[in-house]
Amino acid sequence: MTAPLAMSALDLAGRRVLIRADLNAPIENGSVRSDARLRAEVPTLNAATAQGARVILMSHLGRPEEGKFDPALSLRPIALRLSELLDRTVRLVPDWIDGVDVAPGEIVLTENVRFLKGEKKNDAALARRMAALCDIFVMDAFGTAHRAEASTVGVAELAPVACAGPLLVAELEALAAAVGQPKRPLVAIVGGSKVSGKLEVLKSLASLVDTLIPGGGIANTIMAAAGAAVGKSLHERDMLDFARDLLAGKFGKATLALPTDVVVAEALSPQATASVRPAGQVGAGEMILDVGPATAVRYAEIVRDAGTIVWNGPLGVFEIEQFANGTRALAESIAASKAFSIVGGGDTLAAIEQFGVADRISYVSTGGGAFLEFLEGKELPAVAVLKRRAQEAAR
Ligand code: 3PG
Ligand code: MG
């Protein structure tokens, strides 16, 4: 299939360029807590303004109720932080859907696209109004490329020209290289609270990777399915059959590397006392909150000998010091490994930042859900429409 048209191939001078970015960053007390997604967008914005584009930038933040303004989910903190990162003023435009004034070389940021009715369900009338704002639509929101919404898919169908931005292109290339012809052994670490949320990705990875390391509630559920006592650990009883199938190799022959020891406590709290137990010997009143030291050493060895590593989801509750060791050891061993490493997802990015290893990861993806859907081999809807547009343009 034809590749999407790339922003880098277009002349943007004086054009109204509407860029959909994923600036959905955690906000704390009115300011941006982690600006990784904002920093990732800076090269695209600089490239567009250097050419004299009139840049209209749009993004969602959180999941507001549509049709209402919610001050807690305003993009104002995003505009402020972006202004700092770019060393220029990024003006926030609260009312933008019927037209935006923007000078050549200027960047304006529209208010949260999810404040508009019809965004989530990709309403055609809303998408048409977005498309009318621009000469060129640039899809650069890799993190939202798995969502078919008005600002990701609808507008791309209707804009005069639709292309992929540099960040989207880079993400797709890096992930394709890792999953297409990965250097073996290919190791995937998939953590997270729920098996049900990652069912499809676990199935796909079972046939794709050599070793699968589950973390968090996913690991607990698989341990329970293997017959281990998990006490009151987070796990899903209605996923036990699926977990047994996974263990039996029904979806593929990946080796499942389960914890052999775990860190437990009676409560999930910074004051809780942590103890180490062999896997399977968790007390009825205890919950697993991290992997144990022997498991951490084994995982470090697996990661050291890998050719390619894909990581989404922490191993334990790394935000609390006594449950952070497993995730910290994993982050450090991935950083030290010679393997090509790809890390994605909000919590995982927070973990690599917290442990100071972000600059020793081969590729840090801005995507969470999008990253996982790409790994499943799913076509991302916002990318599919760009390919279609490129095909039509070539005819
Ligand atoms: C994310 O953070 O995963 C993306 O920005 C998409 O957000 P959503 O899950 O609310 O659609
Ligand atoms: Mg999400």
From 194, 203, 232, 387, active-site residue: 194
From 15, 37, 114, 129, active-site residue: 37
Distance 144 CA to ligand 1 centre (A): 6
pLDDT digits (tens), the chain, 395 positions:
689 999 999 999 999 999 999 999 989 899 998 898 999 999 999 999 999 999 999 999 999 999 999 999 999 999 999 999 999 999 999 999 999 999 999 999 999 999 999 999 999 999 999 999 999 999 999 999 999 999 999 999 999 999 999 999 999 998 888 778 899 999 999 998 888 889 889 999 999 999 999 999 999 999 999 999 999 999 999 999 999 999 999 999 999 999 999 999 999 999 999 999 999 999 999 999 999 999 999 999 999 999 999 999 999 999 999 999 999 999 999 999 999 999 998 889 989 999 999 999 999 999 988 998 898 888 999 999 999 999 999 88
Residue 250: burial class (beta carbons within 10 Å; 0-12, 13-18, 19+): exposed
Tokens 């005069």, located at residue = 160
- What confidence score (pLDDT) does residue 376 get? 83
Q: Residue 165 catalytic?
A: no
> Residue 200: which H helix or E strand, with range?
helix 199-208
CA atoms within 13 A on the CB side of 279: 21
Pocket test for ligand 1, best of 33, 65, 78, 144 (most atoms within 8 A of CB): 144
Distance 368 CA to ligand 2 centre (A): 6
pLDDT tens for 44-73 read: 999 999 999 999 999 999 999 999 999 999
Question: Is the minimum distance from the CB of 217 to ligand 1 under 6 angstroms?
Answer: no
From 292, 346, 367, 368, active-site residue: 346
- Cα Rg for the chain, rounded, in angstroms? 22
- What confidence score (pLDDT) does residue 343 get? 94
Question: Is the minimum distance from the CB of 143 to ligand 1 under 6 angstroms?
Answer: yes
Closest listed ligand to the CA of 370: 1
Distance 218 CA to ligand 2 centre (A): 17
Pocket test for ligand 1, best of 23, 147, 171 (most atoms within 8 A of CB): 147
Per-position b or e across 104-130, b if 16+ CB within 10 A of its CB: ebbbbbbbbbbbbebbbebbeebbebb
The tokens for 23 are 């600036």
Q: Residue 81 catalytic?
A: no
Q: Residue 99 catalytic?
A: no
The tokens for 359 are 């600059």
Query: Quick count: other Cβ atoms within 10 Å of Cβ 5?
Result: 20
The tokens for 287 are 């919950």
User: Residue 370 CA: which ligand 1 atom is closest?
Assistant: 3
How distant, in Å, are the alpha carbons of 9, 267, 277 from that of 323?
48, 12, 13
Question: Is the minimum distance from the CB of 368 to ligand 1 under 6 angstroms?
Answer: yes
Q: Are 122 and 149 in contact (CB under 8 A)?
A: yes
Q: Residue 389 catalytic?
A: no
